[in-house]
Structure 1
Amino acid sequence: MSAQPFLIFPWQRPFLPDLVDTVEKLTHGQPGKALIVVPHQRPWRYIVRIFEERGYAGLLPKTVAFSELVALWRARAQGAAKMAANPLDQGALLHQCVRGLAREDAALEARFAKMDMARFLPWGLRLASLLEELFIQGVEPADLAHLEGEVTAPAAALLGALGRISRAWRAALEERGWTTPGLEQFLAARGAARIPPLLQPAAERPVFIAGFSVLSGTEETLLRALWRAGAHVCLHTDPTVLEGAPHWACAEQGAWLRRWHARAEPAVPLTEAEAGHEPRREFFAGYDLHSQLEALAHDLRHTGGGSTAVVLTDSALLLPVLHHLPEKDVNVSMGYPLARSPLFRLLDALFTLEEGRAEDGRCYWRSLLHVLRHPYLNMLETRASDGEVFALRDGLRRMEALVRTGSRYVDLPACLEECRQQLPATLAALLTECLETTVGALHEADTTAGLAAWLGGIHGFLLAYGGDVWRRFPLDAEALFRLMRHVAPELAHNALAGEVFPPALLYGIARQLLERERIPFEADPLVGVQVLGMLETRLLHFDRVFVVDATDDVLPGNPAQDPLLPDSLRAVLGLPDARRRERVAAYTLHRLCASAREAHFYWQEGVSHSALFDGKKLRSRFVEGFLWQAEQERGALLTPGTAPLRAAACEVRQSPAEPVSLARTPGLDAAMKAFLRGTLSATRLDAYLDCPLRFVWETLCRLKPRQEVNEGDDPAAVGTCLHAALRALYGPWLGKTVRKGDITGAQALACFQEAMAQAGLRRLLPADACLMLEASVPVRLQKFLEHQPEETQIVALERRIDADLILAGRPYAFTGIIDRLDRRDGLLHVLDYKTGGIKRHDPGLWTDSPFFARAAELCARVDSAGGAPDAETMAELDGAFEALRERLPSMQLPAYVALLEAREGDAVGDAALVELRFQGKEHPLFGPLLDDELASARADCKLALALLLRHMEHAPRFDARPDAHCRWCPYAPLCAS
Structure 2
Amino acid sequence: MSNPTFLSKLTDELISIYSDNLSDITIVLPSKRARVFLIDTIQSKLSKPIFTPNILSIEEFIQDISGLRTIDSMEVLFEFYYVYSDITDKKDVQDFETFSYWAKTVIQDFNEIDRYLLDQKHVFSYLRDVEALKRWNLELNQTTKLIDSTLEFWDKLPLYYELFYKYLLDKGIGYQGLLYRESIHNLESFTENISPLNQIIFAGFNALNQAEEKIFQHLMHHQKALVYWDVDYTILQDPFHDAGLFIRKYKKEWKQYANQSFKWIETHFDKPKNIQIIGTPKTVGQTKIVGNLIEEIQKENPDLQNTAVVLGDENLLLPTLYNLPETVESLNITMGYPSKNNPAQLLIAKIFKLHTNAKQRNEKQYTLYYKEVLDILNHALIEPYIDAKKVENVIKFNNFTFFSNDKLFQLYEEHKTNESNPLFQLIFSKWNDDASEIMSKLSQILLVIKSHLTNENQEDIIAKAFLHSIHQVLNRISTFIEKYQSITSLSSLYAIYKQVVDLAEVSFEGKPLSGLQVMGVLESRVLDFENVIITSVNEGKFPSGKSTNSFIPYDIKRELGLPTFREKDAIYSYHFYHLLYRAKNIYLLYNSENSDGIDAGEKSRFLTQLEIDFPQHITKNTIYNAHLPSLAYEPIKIKKTQSILERLKEIATEKGFSPSSLTSYIRNPIQFYTQRILRIREIDEVEENIAVNTLGTVIHETLKYLYQPYINKFLSINDVDSMLQLVEQETIKQFKEIYKEGEIKKGKNLLAFEVAKQNVEQFLKMEKKDVEAGIGIKILFLEHTLEGKIADKSLPYEIKIAGNVDRIELRDNKIRIIDYKTGKVEARTLKVDDFSQLTSDIKYEKIIQLLCYALMFENNLEYKDYPVEAGIISFKNMKVGFMPFGLGKRNSIHEITKETIIDFKQSMLALILEILNPEIPFEEKI
Q: Name the TM-score class by shorter chain.
A: 0.7 to 0.9
Residue equivalent to 1:719: 696
Is the contact between residue 335 and residue 519 of structure 1 (CA under 8 Å) also seen in structure 2? Answer: yes
- Distance in 2, matches of 1:330 and 1:906, equals 85
Q: Where in structure 1 are there 5+ consecutive unaligned residues?
A: 1-11, 104-111, 380-391, 852-878, 967-977
- Distance in 2, matches of 1:471 and 1:699, equals 41
- Distance in 1, matches of 2:150 and 2:456, equals 49
In the alignment, is residue 36 of structure 1 matched against residue 23 of structure 2? no
- Structure 2 counterpart of 1:73, from 47, 56, 65: 65
Letter in 2 for 1:650: H
In the alignment, is residue 372 of structure 1 matched against residue 377 of structure 2? yes
Change in 2 beyond 3 A, CA 1:960/1:135: farther
Is the contact between residue 287 and residue 320 of structure 2 (CA under 8 Å) also seen in structure 1? Answer: no
In the alignment, is residue 438 of structure 1 matched against residue 398 of structure 2? no
Is the contact between residue 780 and residue 918 of structure 1 (CA under 8 Å) also seen in structure 2? Answer: no
Compute the TM-score of the two structures, normalised by the length of structure 1: 0.75
Is the contact between residue 23 and residue 34 of structure 1 (CA under 8 Å) also seen in structure 2? Answer: no
Change in 2 beyond 3 A, CA 1:87/1:743: same
Change in 2 beyond 3 A, CA 1:826/1:512: same
Letter in 1 for 2:426: T
1:871-886, aligned counterparts within 5 Å?
Answer: 882=839
Change in 2 beyond 3 A, CA 1:266/1:436: same
Compute the TM-score of the two structures, normalised by the length of structure 2: 0.79
Change in 2 beyond 3 A, CA 1:550/1:408: farther
Q: CA deviation at 1:534?
A: 1.9
Is the contact between residue 447 and residue 506 of structure 1 (CA under 8 Å) also seen in structure 2? Answer: no
- Structure 1 counterpart of 2:900, from 916, 927, 940: 940
**Partner-residue secondary structure (3-state), 1:193:** helix
Q: CA deviation at 1:547?
A: 1.6
Change in 2 beyond 3 A, CA 1:836/1:309: same
Residue equivalent to 1:52: 43
The size of the alignment, in residue pairs, is: 876
Q: CA deviation at 1:630?
A: 4.7
- Structure 1 counterpart of 2:917, from 942, 951, 956: 956
Change in 2 beyond 3 A, CA 1:572/1:401: farther
Q: CA deviation at 1:252?
A: 1.6
Q: CA deviation at 1:645?
A: 3.9
Q: CA deviation at 1:309?
A: 3.0
Q: CA deviation at 1:555?
A: 1.1
- Structure 2 counterpart of 1:122, from 91, 101, 109: 101
1:261-340, aligned counterparts within 5 Å?
Answer: 261-263=255-257, 266-267=261-262, 276-277=270-271, 279-287=273-281, 288-301=285-298, 307-322=306-321, 324=324, 326-340=327-341
Change in 2 beyond 3 A, CA 1:952/1:74: same
Q: CA deviation at 1:215?
A: 1.5
Is the contact between residue 313 and residue 534 of structure 1 (CA under 8 Å) also seen in structure 2? Answer: yes
Residue equivalent to 1:546: 533
Is the contact between residue 885 and residue 894 of structure 2 (CA under 8 Å) also seen in structure 1? Answer: yes
Change in 2 beyond 3 A, CA 1:676/1:161: same
- Distance in 2, matches of 1:406 and 1:117, equals 42
Change in 2 beyond 3 A, CA 1:558/1:722: farther
Measured against aligned partners, the alpha-carbon deviations of 1:728-771 in whole angstroms (never above 9, x if no partner) come to 888999844569x9999999889867866776599458987447
Letter in 2 for 1:605: S
Residue equivalent to 1:663: 640
**Partner-residue secondary structure (3-state), 2:523:** helix
- Distance in 1, matches of 2:512 and 2:11, equals 21
Q: CA deviation at 1:488?
A: 0.9
- Distance in 2, matches of 1:295 and 1:766, equals 58
Residue equivalent to 1:183: 178
- Structure 1 counterpart of 2:399, from 407, 411, 418: 407
- Distance in 1, matches of 2:722 and 2:255, equals 99
- Distance in 1, matches of 2:640 and 2:238, equals 83
Is the contact between residue 680 and residue 814 of structure 1 (CA under 8 Å) also seen in structure 2? Answer: yes
- Structure 2 counterpart of 1:606, from 568, 587, 593: 593
Letter in 2 for 1:551: N
Letter in 2 for 1:180: Y
- Distance in 1, matches of 2:54 and 2:111, equals 29
- Distance in 2, matches of 1:811 and 1:234, equals 92
1:604-643, aligned counterparts within 5 Å?
Answer: 604-607=591-594, 615-631=599-615, 643=620
- Distance in 2, matches of 1:931 and 1:644, equals 69
Is the contact between residue 549 and residue 604 of structure 1 (CA under 8 Å) also seen in structure 2? Answer: yes
In the alignment, is residue 142 of structure 1 matched against residue 142 of structure 2? no
- Distance in 2, matches of 1:458 and 1:843, equals 61
- Distance in 2, matches of 1:921 and 1:131, equals 77
Change in 2 beyond 3 A, CA 1:915/1:177: same
Residue equivalent to 2:138: none
Q: Where in structure 2 are there 5+ consecutive unaligned residues?
A: 136-145, 793-797
- Distance in 2, matches of 1:680 and 1:529, equals 61
Change in 2 beyond 3 A, CA 1:28/1:187: same
Residue equivalent to 2:881: 922
- Distance in 1, matches of 2:458 and 2:635, equals 51
**Partner-residue secondary structure (3-state), 1:37:** strand
In the alignment, is residue 418 of structure 1 matched against residue 418 of structure 2? no
Structure 1, 695-704 or 775-784: larger mean CA deviation: 775-784
**Partner-residue secondary structure (3-state), 2:586:** strand
Letter in 2 for 1:438: I
- Structure 1 counterpart of 2:190, from 191, 195, 205: 195
RMSD (Å), alpha carbons? 4.9
Change in 2 beyond 3 A, CA 1:436/1:566: farther
1:506-525, aligned counterparts within 5 Å?
Answer: 506-521=493-508, 524=511
In the alignment, is residue 210 of structure 1 matched against residue 194 of structure 2? no
Letter in 2 for 1:142: F
In the alignment, is residue 580 of structure 1 matched against residue 564 of structure 2? no
- Distance in 2, matches of 1:119 and 1:309, equals 42
Change in 2 beyond 3 A, CA 1:501/1:562: farther
In the alignment, is residue 708 of structure 1 matched against residue 699 of structure 2? no
- Distance in 2, matches of 1:766 and 1:300, equals 65
Q: CA deviation at 1:718?
A: 1.0
- Distance in 1, matches of 2:781 and 2:917, equals 37
Measured against aligned partners, the alpha-carbon deviations of 1:785-814 in whole angstroms (never above 9, x if no partner) come to 898766355433972446665768989685
Structure 1, 308-317 or 583-592: larger mean CA deviation: 308-317
- Distance in 2, matches of 1:243 and 1:703, equals 72
Change in 2 beyond 3 A, CA 1:582/1:489: same
Is the contact between residue 308 and residue 544 of structure 1 (CA under 8 Å) also seen in structure 2? Answer: yes
- Distance in 2, matches of 1:182 and 1:369, equals 46
- Distance in 2, matches of 1:645 and 1:398, equals 53
1:480-519, aligned counterparts within 5 Å?
Answer: 480-485=467-472, 487-494=474-481, 498-500=485-487, 503=490, 505-519=492-506
Change in 2 beyond 3 A, CA 1:577/1:820: farther
Change in 2 beyond 3 A, CA 1:770/1:607: farther
- Distance in 1, matches of 2:695 and 2:553, equals 52
Residue equivalent to 2:850: 893
Is the contact between residue 22 and residue 267 of structure 1 (CA under 8 Å) also seen in structure 2? Answer: no
- Distance in 1, matches of 2:453 and 2:907, equals 63
Letter in 2 for 1:916: F
Is the contact between residue 403 and residue 410 of structure 1 (CA under 8 Å) also seen in structure 2? Answer: no
Q: CA deviation at 1:678?
A: 5.0
Change in 2 beyond 3 A, CA 1:568/1:362: farther
Change in 2 beyond 3 A, CA 1:224/1:449: farther
Structure 1, 588-597 or 294-303: larger mean CA deviation: 294-303
Change in 2 beyond 3 A, CA 1:297/1:28: closer
